[in-house]
Structure 1
Amino acid sequence: MTSYVSVSDLIRREAPGNPLLCFSPGSIKKRVEQFLAHFPGETGWAVKSNPHPLVVRAVVDAGIRTFDVASRHEIDLILRHCPSATLHFNHPVKAPEDIVYAWHSAAIRSFAIDCPEELEKIDAVLDGAGDTARRDTVLTIRFRNTRPTGTGNYCFDEKFGAHASKAVDLLRFADSLGYRTGLTFHPGSQNRDPESYATLIDLARSIAAESFAQGTAALAHINVGGGFPCSYPGGLEPALKIYLAAIGKAASSIACPLICEPGRAMVAESANLLARINLRRKDDPRLYINEGIYGSFMETPFVDFQPPVQAYSADGTPFPEAGPCDDFQIWGATCDSLDRLRKPVSLPSAIATGDFIEFGMMGAYTNATATRFNGIEPAELIAVTEITSWPTGTTTATQSHCE
């Protein structure tokens, strides 16, 4: 695979007509090192955030050996790159045939559930597998937050999770059948409240105490999920170390191992999107680019964060930091009028057709969710040694411009 020194080098050499995700794995290594050094338990990774083989390879090379998978495809992907991986099938609603494949072919022994019906699906697969099959398998009960704080951009509890009393019933039911058990929760993507993890760990402790005389000592693990945030422009996210410290303090009250499974926090900063401006009309605050919400910007209609930007001229020269800027409405590549970024973007006033915009922190939930609507191909992931980075605490959408 061709590698480029920088985004400017890429533009000069290729003048790309299609959007590209410029991937540099160094940030993945740094994030993994942070989690491994300071999370008080086992650090996994949510594969759904970016299943590209280059990203998976970088995560494995950085030292991750535990993975949250949600389908047969993700199972096979991880086992190709890391045959010795520990896999947790933590999608609360699994296709029956995927359960069969996971247990019998991939030797997965950890499954998340949030209702008796899902437990019964798994139990039917294990029926006849031998006396030790259930004791070798962990059923992790996903429970919901009884006091939602609204700190995440996605409320996962709307779709999954048992109420605390039902979680108690499920733990006891699974235990009575001979399974080992655990507990898990998800505080919401891009969570801005470090203490919410401590609150939910405490709720897990209470659920375990009501379920078993040994309390959390009876559990195989508590999985605190993901939701660890990235510092997008204008956001109020505390530093990662504050989250890990809050979890560490709460961990002193439990007697079983902890697991986390960050997705976005692990890979978002590893890739920036390079998009070309296909049209700027004269005296018009609209820019039409070759990427959009049916590609790498799927999230933008639903969340309150937006990536930082760096502008380049058509020959790859970065626009100077100082200079006049305007707010532009960014429209996507398809013919759909829904295809636009929700918030305006401040860019150099002189930006024109054929120039480029580098959108930062686009390594998560971009190529993973892209479509081919209108026959437009998703952005290709390519290796770039040095991509633009933005400092934590950036407060404007264009840290490189208009200051």
Structure 2
Amino acid sequence: MPSDRLCRFARVERETPYAAFDVDVAVRAYDRYLAALAGRGRVQFAVKARPEPQLLEALVRRGAGLDVASTSEIRTALAAGCPPELLSHSNVFRTEREIGEAFELGVRVFCADSAAELARLSHSASGASVILRLTSARAGSELPTSARFGCPATEAVALAQMAEAIGLDVAGLTWHVGTQQTDPTRWRTAIEQAASVWSAIHRTGVTTVRVLNVGGGVPARYRRAVPTMETCTATILTAIDDNFGPGELDVVVEPGRSLVAEAGITVARVKSVLDRGGEVAVVLDAGIWNAGLVECLLSDVEYPVHALDHAVDAPRRPVRLCGPTCDPLDELRVLTPYRLPVALAPGDRVLIGSTGAYCASTTASDFCGYPPLPNHVLSARAMEVSW
């Protein structure tokens, strides 16, 4: 269930549809990461997961770094008070102009996975630090990362040599095991590969490698049980111990979804209930496009749903949940049908949980005339800020 503050907020009658985000829930998740790492690593939040200024400010105050993917995100991060030295640019597809803009704004750490990208960095960000991104097995992920990201381990050593030869600082290695990764052993496999590449790079005489960025992928809670943040982090630290041993190692974790998903909710109202030969469709005023729920089209992500105006033990039946547009894709697609009260009727409210990650930044603009949802930001510092 969402936080008590989010539940209290949702119970108050107000115009729908809308989204709400509890900054303090995300900050507590950040603190859980720090406790799990036990001083052995640092956290860089992936801004793309939730570019909420109040959230970024809160994380920066607690010492978090920020992972950015564009000039716009860099400006947002700097406006939130993040020191440029705590920014890392992870988008490996950049023009020289974009690299130059990032460098001028103070970014000094860039990911790369190709010779072409290294050449662009050398030209537009001379002397910058480079984190080489490796490919990684993605089985177990509910939204596997595209194969276009990352270089094979067999190419990484040559890229490290090239980077040093053209004046870049070869700072470390990274990868991504796939978002919403439900198999913690995937990090062990990736760390084993990274250790092999690390040793091979050192044997060539490139000895500046010091950062091990284990990426993101830690799962958030939706409808199905998933490994906890603590379980994933423990697996990561044990694998590092087994493959790297003692020594100075700058370990970075890069959470996005697992930090913010459960901090967000979407509240919608029923527009229509249709019974088509025993198959019931519930049409809401929030859906895929205006609420940014696109991940249920692209992955196995299934948002938890609660009927706000009905008792928990009310008789239920399976339903299809659809959004307000004319698009047949505007439906919350799930493997296990939602079950909502038989008495659910137009005007009743439905709470969609765990919508804090990616939804706010992936809403379509006015598709079919339905604008992106208004967003209410809640925190102890500012009880409600709306936009």
- The normalised TM-score by structure 1 is 0.85
Helix, strand or coil at the partner of 1:304:
coil
Q: Match for 2:361 among 356, 368, 373?
A: 368
Aligned residue identity for 1:224: V
Is the 2:293–2:359 contact (alpha carbons within 8 Å) kept by the matching residues of 1?
yes
Q: Partner residue of 1:382? A: 376
Q: Match for 1:289 among 284, 288, 295?
A: 284
Q: CA deviation at 1:60?
A: 3.0
- 1:211-256 superposed Cα distances (whole Å, 9 cap, x missing partner): 2238996313111110000122224x21211111111112223342
Whether 1:141 aligns to 2:149 is: no
Whether 1:359 aligns to 2:382 is: no
Q: CA deviation at 1:266?
A: 0.6
Q: CA deviation at 1:158?
A: 1.1
Q: Partner residue of 1:347? A: 340
Q: Partner residue of 2:295? A: 299
Aligned residue identity for 1:376: Y
The 3 A distance-change label for structure 1 pair 381 and 285 is same
Q: Partner residue of 1:56? A: 56
Q: Aligned partners of 1:12 and 1:43: how far apart in 2?
A: 35
Is the 1:88–1:109 contact (alpha carbons within 8 Å) kept by the matching residues of 2?
yes
Paired-residue identity, %: 28
Is the 2:223–2:303 contact (alpha carbons within 8 Å) kept by the matching residues of 1?
yes
Gaps of 5+ in 1: 127-132, 314-318, 387-403
Whether 1:328 aligns to 2:319 is: yes
Aligned residue identity for 2:287: G
Q: Partner residue of 2:383? A: none
Whether 1:338 aligns to 2:321 is: no
Whether 1:113 aligns to 2:86 is: no
Is the 1:65–1:84 contact (alpha carbons within 8 Å) kept by the matching residues of 2?
no
Moved more, 352-361 or 157-166: 157-166
Q: CA deviation at 1:64?
A: 4.1
Q: CA deviation at 1:149?
A: 4.9
Q: CA deviation at 1:13?
A: 4.2
Q: Aligned partners of 2:204 and 2:42: how far apart in 1?
A: 22
Aligned residue identity for 1:38: A
Helix, strand or coil at the partner of 2:321:
strand
Q: CA deviation at 1:119?
A: 0.7
Aligned residue identity for 2:191: I
The 3 A distance-change label for structure 1 pair 67 and 215 is farther
Aligned residue identity for 1:90: S
Q: Match for 2:203 among 209, 213, 221?
A: 213
Q: Partner residue of 2:160? A: 171
Is the 1:209–1:215 contact (alpha carbons within 8 Å) kept by the matching residues of 2?
no
Is the 2:99–2:121 contact (alpha carbons within 8 Å) kept by the matching residues of 1?
yes
Q: Partner residue of 1:394? A: none
Whether 1:124 aligns to 2:130 is: no
Helix, strand or coil at the partner of 2:110:
strand
* Match runs of 1:6-85 below 5 Å: 7=7, 12-14=12-14, 16-17=15-16, 19-39=17-37, 40-61=40-61, 63-85=62-84
Q: Aligned partners of 1:385 and 1:334: how far apart in 2?
A: 32
Q: Aligned partners of 2:6 and 2:159: how far apart in 1?
A: 53
Q: CA deviation at 1:384?
A: 4.9
Q: Partner residue of 2:240? A: 251
The 3 A distance-change label for structure 1 pair 138 and 303 is same
Is the 2:223–2:302 contact (alpha carbons within 8 Å) kept by the matching residues of 1?
yes
The 3 A distance-change label for structure 1 pair 385 and 280 is farther
- The normalised TM-score by structure 2 is 0.88
* Match runs of 1:185-224 below 5 Å: 185-213=175-203, 218-224=208-214
Q: Aligned partners of 2:274 and 2:113: how far apart in 1?
A: 53
Is the 2:215–2:252 contact (alpha carbons within 8 Å) kept by the matching residues of 1?
yes
Is the 2:270–2:349 contact (alpha carbons within 8 Å) kept by the matching residues of 1?
yes
Q: CA deviation at 1:179?
A: 2.0
Q: Partner residue of 1:271? A: 264
Q: Aligned partners of 2:220 and 2:228: how far apart in 1?
A: 9
Q: Aligned partners of 1:331 and 1:157: how far apart in 2?
A: 28
Q: Partner residue of 1:95? A: 95
Q: CA deviation at 1:82?
A: 1.5
Q: Aligned partners of 1:250 and 1:362: how far apart in 2?
A: 31
Is the 1:226–1:263 contact (alpha carbons within 8 Å) kept by the matching residues of 2?
yes
Q: Partner residue of 2:385? A: none
Q: What count of residue pairs does the alignment treat as equivalent?
A: 363
Gaps of 5+ in 2: 381-387
Q: Aligned partners of 1:50 and 1:216: how far apart in 2?
A: 36
Q: Aligned partners of 2:264 and 2:194: how far apart in 1?
A: 35
Q: Aligned partners of 2:115 and 2:73: how far apart in 1?
A: 25
Q: CA deviation at 1:83?
A: 3.9
In angstroms, what is the RMSD of aligned CA positions? 2.2
Q: Aligned partners of 1:257 and 1:123: how far apart in 2?
A: 24
Q: Partner residue of 2:384? A: none
Is the 2:214–2:254 contact (alpha carbons within 8 Å) kept by the matching residues of 1?
yes
Q: Partner residue of 1:242? A: 231
